[in-house]
Amino acid sequence: MPPSQLADPVDPTALTAWANGRLPGTGTVEVSVLGEGHSNLTFLLSRPGTATQWVLRRPPVGPLLPTAHDVVREFRVLSLLGQTSAPVRIPTVVALCEDPSVIGAPFYVMERTAGTVVRDRLPAWLENDRGACHRLGVDLADALAEIHSVDWSPFVAAGIGRPGGYLERQLRRWSGQREGIQQAVAAAGGRARELPDYDLVRDWLRHNLPQETEPALVHGDFKLDNVIVARDGDGAAGGPRVAAVVDWEMATVGDPRADLGYLLSFWPEPGVAPVMAQTSVLGEGFPTGAEMVERWALRTGRRPGDTRWFVALAVWKLAILLEASYHRWLAGMSDDPFFATLGTGVPALLARARQVADV
């Protein structure tokens, strides 16, 4: 049973009443679970009388950390991107509902983008095509460069991020998230487990804080399984391409090298055992991490410098985020089988962050 079914998080009758006048078609909105992702919950919507399909996103069931799973923010980011002339690849958002009485939480609806989400295995049409894998990797770097080339000032004006102090705020925010986990577990009568590598990496990040570069719009969770891949791209080369970038809940304005480090944290390195399933699918044919950085620098005109600090930050943040998911699973708020692996998965991530930091 998918984790989203634990508390019937989308009532079709209530959703249909809300959809009248907002979504075309007639009759009851049909809802099915999209079993992709371990963060916000996603559902496929359809309705008699129209061939259009939509995707609904809402927060997961159960208590959440402050600022986490913010679908309202995600909708606002996508709406602002939809108003810009910059060629950022995003789905088209349709409507936002901030009233939790409709389905029990805020949610938004966007048009469905055709394509494939690549997670722990490559689709059959890509698996043995090294040239196609390479083109997809290059296009992924291009898609990230497009985000970092957007005019960030409208986002600051809308209260989404600030142009300075981003890296320091990241350390404060994610340290606070860890403390929030400990407080939530204590309030439930338990005690969060000790994670000594968390403290070591946190202190190293604080003591080695780099000087920030020119700000940009930052996605915050940019990786291969947060894009929709179209099998046939445009242009003479053809082949797979990024059709849309999704999961914008952590987008803000800051140092774009944080996105670069996050992408690299999922990219395979020679002689380094993968700690995340997706890393193992990025085999022969895909560009190396160094090639991805070089392509990003070419497309943005920015200097990446030493990316090690940003990779360590990315893995450390991911470990904190997944620790919260692990405690939701322990509390019975999710039956996502991936969360069951985090008892060892989170310490492995923190060990990897410590290895990157060399502490």
Q: Going residue by residue through the chain (359 aa), what tens digit of pLDDT does each one get? A: 344 444 567 889 999 999 999 999 989 999 998 865 556 889 999 999 999 999 999 987 655 444 556 899 999 999 999 998 888 999 999 999 999 999 989 999 999 999 999 987 899 999 889 999 999 999 999 999 999 999 999 999 999 999 899 999 999 999 998 888 888 888 888 888 999 999 999 999 999 999 999 999 999 999 999 999 999 755 445 679 999 999 999 999 999 999 999 999 989 877 666 666 566 678 789 999 999 999 999 999 999 999 999 999 999 999 998 998 888 888 887 777 888 889 999 999 999 999 999 99
Please name the helix (run of DSSP H) or strand (run of DSSP E) that holds residue 308, with its range, or none. Answer: helix 308-330
Architecture of domain 113-164+216-305: Alpha-Beta Complex (3.90)
- The position carrying tokens 């338990």 is 190
Tokens encoding 79 = 């709406």
Residues 6+ apart with CB under 8 A from 341: none
Strand ranges, E, within the chain: 30-33, 41-46, 54-58, 93-97, 107-111, 216-218, 227-230, 241-245, 252-254
| Residue-range domain boundaries for the chain | 3-111, 113-164+216-305, 170-211+307-359
d(CA 177, CA 185) in angstroms, rounded, equals 12
> What is the model's pLDDT at position 239?
78
Give me the half-sphere count of Cα atoms (radius 13 Å) on the Cβ side of residue 168. 6
Alpha-helix runs per DSSP H in 188-235? 196-207
Q: Domain 3-111, what fold?
A: Phosphorylase Kinase; domain 1 (3.30.200)
Sign of CA dihedral 350, 353, 354, 355: positive
DSSP 8-state class, residue 116:
B
Statement: the pTM of the whole predicted model exceeds 0.75:
yes
Residues 6+ apart with CB under 8 A from 229: 115, 116, 117, 118, 136, 240, 241, 242, 243
Residue 33: beta bridge partners?
A: 43
Sign of CA dihedral 52, 53, 59, 61: positive
Q: How many CB atoms lie within 10 A of CB 168?
A: 12
Residue 93 phi/psi, 5-degree rounding, is -80, 150
